[in-house]
Amino acid sequence: MSTTALIVAAGKGERAGGGVPKQYRMLGGKPVLRWAVEALIRHPAVQSARVVIGTGQEEQATAALGGLDVGQLIEGGAERADSVRAGLAAIESDAVLVHDAARPFCPASVVDRLIASLEFYEGAAPVLPVGDTLARIDATLGKPVGRSGIVRVQTPQAFRLAALKAAYERWSGPSPTDETTVAAAAGMKVATVEGDPALEKLTRPGDFERAEQWLAGALRPSTGMGFDVHAFAGEGPVILGGVEVPHDRGLVGHSDADVVLHAITDALLGAAGLGDIGEHFPPSDARWEGAASSLFLTHAVDLLRERGAIIDHVDCTIIAEAPKVGPHREAIRAHIAGIAGLSIEQVSIKATTTEGLGFTGRREGIAAQAVASIRTGFLK
Ligand code: CTP
Ligand code: MG
């Protein structure tokens, strides 16, 4: 059975406020939409993913989804049902998982249960019991609503694609808040599977704070260190953190001898336990001869993000008697932040001399040390 994840992200997020539609707001360093898509795309039972976005949201969506294979973005409509319809029309697979972009954390176990149910049912949805008393309100508290047999219904919801399409064709009511409403009206048998509190939808302003707190407990912080040295030879300039710094001597080495980017790349690889720069970019490989070191950093960042890592911070100390780093510090920070997709506050560059001692003191070369802080953790 082939399964497509269809993530609807064409809403305006009016209740959440915050200036930008909630699906593009950052959560633990990543846009909400990216969390939602990544959670489904990396599930082994999901072969492809497509995203429905609002008119005029192309730029935000492309930035949020960079590097993820989601094909062509699909344009949604005014109501959620219009967006789902547009999405269903664009996909071809046996099954579909329709998911709200506003539910960033989808545990793989929920998808396992949904997919398993499709063997026996045309649809399946994650549900949770209601813990609080339910009541109607008027001007004051009205009649309680019995809660036995009542559940809260979440997304993603799994359906056999043909059955859901047919149900939507017959649906003529107002835009529903999910697909089970449409499926039930068409007489489809929809299984319930256990939902998960992590799937709570971001709807109101306070929901973001709660989600941040939840993330803080779910992710594991780790740190990596990197160190690199290149010797001076020939004429300058030197390249530090991708920035040309005027100097009477240059640095020699495989690639462009950018000690700063090499140390940071190694620190990132180290934080994720992914080996070292020499392993990923062997000096013996002609492809990397004279290569811009920004390629190494980009590659390391991609590897980390593929593994669901959030890069919180990188800090680098450049050890050299000369050239002076101070005047170039901000340019270097900005350049590294640009390559790594970080904000400038997440990148720190410092410099020191060794008081004339050692090889850096004798002005034989430049060394750099870096530390990277990341958080990782897949939601089980
Ligand atoms: N959605 C959509 N197209 C719409 C409306 C909503 O794709 N026309 C998506 C939202 O982006 C969200 C999901 O449906 O991922 C659930 O909707 P909701 O929580 O209501 O989000 P918004 O409509 O964006 O928020 P609000 O109703 O507060 O404006
Ligand atoms: Mg809405």
Q: pTM to 2 decimals?
A: 0.81
Length in residues, the chain: 380
> Which are the contacts of 341, defined by CB distance < 8 A and separation ≥ 6?
66, 301
Q: Dihedral (C-alpha) 39, 42, 48, 49: value to the nearest 10 degrees?
A: 20
Give the distance, in angstroms, between the CA of residue 27 and the centroid of all CA atoms in the same chain. 9
pLDDT digits (tens, 9 = 90+) for 244-272: 999 999 999 878 999 999 999 999 999 99
Any idea where the domains of the chain sit in the sequence?
3-218, 220-376
Least confident range from 30-44, 220-234, 278-292, 293-307: namely 278-292
52 lines ligand 1 (CB under 6 A): yes
Q: Which two tokens stand for residue 112?
A: 């396992």
* Atom from ligand 1 closest to the CA of residue 14: 29
Give the distance, in angstroms, between the CA of residue 114 and the centroid of all CA atoms in the same chain. 23
Split at pLDDT 50, 70, 90, the class of 378 is: low
Please say if the pLDDT value at position 13 is more than 60: yes
* Atom from ligand 1 closest to the CA of residue 7: 15
- What pLDDT, on the 0 to 100 scale, is given for residue 362? 98
Please, which residues bridge with residue 125 across strands?
A: 192
| Cα-to-centroid distance, 102 and ligand 1 (Å) | 7
- What pLDDT, on the 0 to 100 scale, is given for residue 288? 82
233 lines ligand 1 (CB under 6 A): no
| Rounded-to-integer distance, Cα 94 and Cα 85, Å | 16
Q: What angle do CA 106, 48, 71 make, to 5 degrees?
A: 110
Going by their DSSP bridges, the two strands 3-9 and 48-53 should be labelled as parallel
| Cα-to-centroid distance, 80 and ligand 1 (Å) | 6
**What ligand has the least distance to the C-alpha of 78?**
1
- What pLDDT, on the 0 to 100 scale, is given for residue 100? 98
Half-sphere exposure of 152 (CA within 13 A, CB side): 13
Instruction: Provide the greatest CA pair distance for the chain.
Output: 85
| Cα-to-centroid distance, 24 and ligand 1 (Å) | 12
Strands (E), the chain: 3-9, 26-27, 30-31, 48-53, 74-75, 95-100, 123-129, 134-137, 141-145, 151-153, 157-160, 190-194, 220-235, 238-240, 243-245, 249-252, 310-319, 347-352, 365-376
Split at pLDDT 50, 70, 90, the class of 380 is: low
Mean pLDDT of 292-315: 92
| Cα-to-centroid distance, 80 and ligand 2 (Å) | 7
Q: Is 96 helix (H, G, I), strand (E, B) or coil?
A: strand
| Rounded-to-integer distance, Cα 14 and Cα 158, Å | 27
pLDDT above 70 as % of the chain: 99
| Cα-to-centroid distance, 12 and ligand 2 (Å) | 7
pLDDT digits (tens, 9 = 90+) for 309-350: 889 999 999 999 999 999 999 999 999 999 998 999 999 999
Surface-to-core class of residue 44, CB atoms within 10 Å of its CB (0-12 exposed, 13-18 middle, 19+ buried):
exposed
32 lines ligand 1 (CB under 6 A): no
**What ligand has the least distance to the C-alpha of 100?**
1
Q: Using CA positions, which residue lies closest to atom 7 of ligand 1?
A: 10
Tokens 């846009």 correspond to what residue?
31
Q: Pick the residue with more confidence: 378 or 305?
A: 305
Going by their DSSP bridges, the two strands 134-137 and 123-129 should be labelled as unpaired
14 lines ligand 1 (CB under 6 A): yes
| Cα-to-centroid distance, 370 and ligand 1 (Å) | 42
Split at pLDDT 50, 70, 90, the class of 379 is: low
Report the top-level CATH class of 3-218.
Answer: alpha beta
| Cβ atoms < 10 Å from Cβ of 138 | 8
Q: Using CA positions, which residue lies closest to atom 1 of ligand 1?
A: 11
Q: What is the CATH number of domain 220-376?
A: 3.30.1330.50
| Cα-to-centroid distance, 12 and ligand 1 (Å) | 6
| Rounded-to-integer distance, Cα 268 and Cα 311, Å | 8
Q: Which of 6, 7, 8 to mutate to test the pocket of ligand 1 (most atoms within 8 A of CB)?
A: 8
Residue 24 contacts residue 32 (beta carbons within 8 Å): yes
* Atom from ligand 1 closest to the CA of residue 11: 24
| Cα-to-centroid distance, 360 and ligand 2 (Å) | 60
Tokens 């967006």 correspond to what residue?
83
Surface-to-core class of residue 142, CB atoms within 10 Å of its CB (0-12 exposed, 13-18 middle, 19+ buried):
exposed
Q: Which of 73, 85, 100 to mutate to test the pocket of ligand 1 (most atoms within 8 A of CB)?
A: 100
Please say if the pLDDT value at position 377 is more than 90: no
**What ligand has the least distance to the C-alpha of 23?**
1
| Rounded-to-integer distance, Cα 6 and Cα 272, Å | 30
Q: Which two tokens stand for residue 219?
A: 């992710």
Q: Which two tokens stand for residue 257?
A: 């001898």
| Rounded-to-integer distance, Cα 245 and Cα 345, Å | 22
Amino acid at 126: P
Q: Using CA positions, which residue lies closest to atom 23 of ligand 1?
A: 11
Split at pLDDT 50, 70, 90, the class of 66 is: confident
53 lines ligand 1 (CB under 6 A): no
Residue 266 contacts residue 227 (beta carbons within 8 Å): yes
Q: Which of 79, 80, 153, 199 to mutate to test the pocket of ligand 1 (most atoms within 8 A of CB)?
A: 80
| 165-188 residues labelled b (16+ CB within 10 A) or e (exposed) | eebbeebeeebbebbbbbbeebeb
pLDDT digits (tens, 9 = 90+) for 92-148: 999 999 999 999 999 999 999 999 999 999 999 999 999 999 999 989 998 999 999
Average pLDDT over the chain reads: 95
| Cα-to-centroid distance, 350 and ligand 2 (Å) | 47
200 lines ligand 1 (CB under 6 A): no
Helices 259-271 and 294-306, packing angle to 10 deg = 10
92 lines ligand 1 (CB under 6 A): no
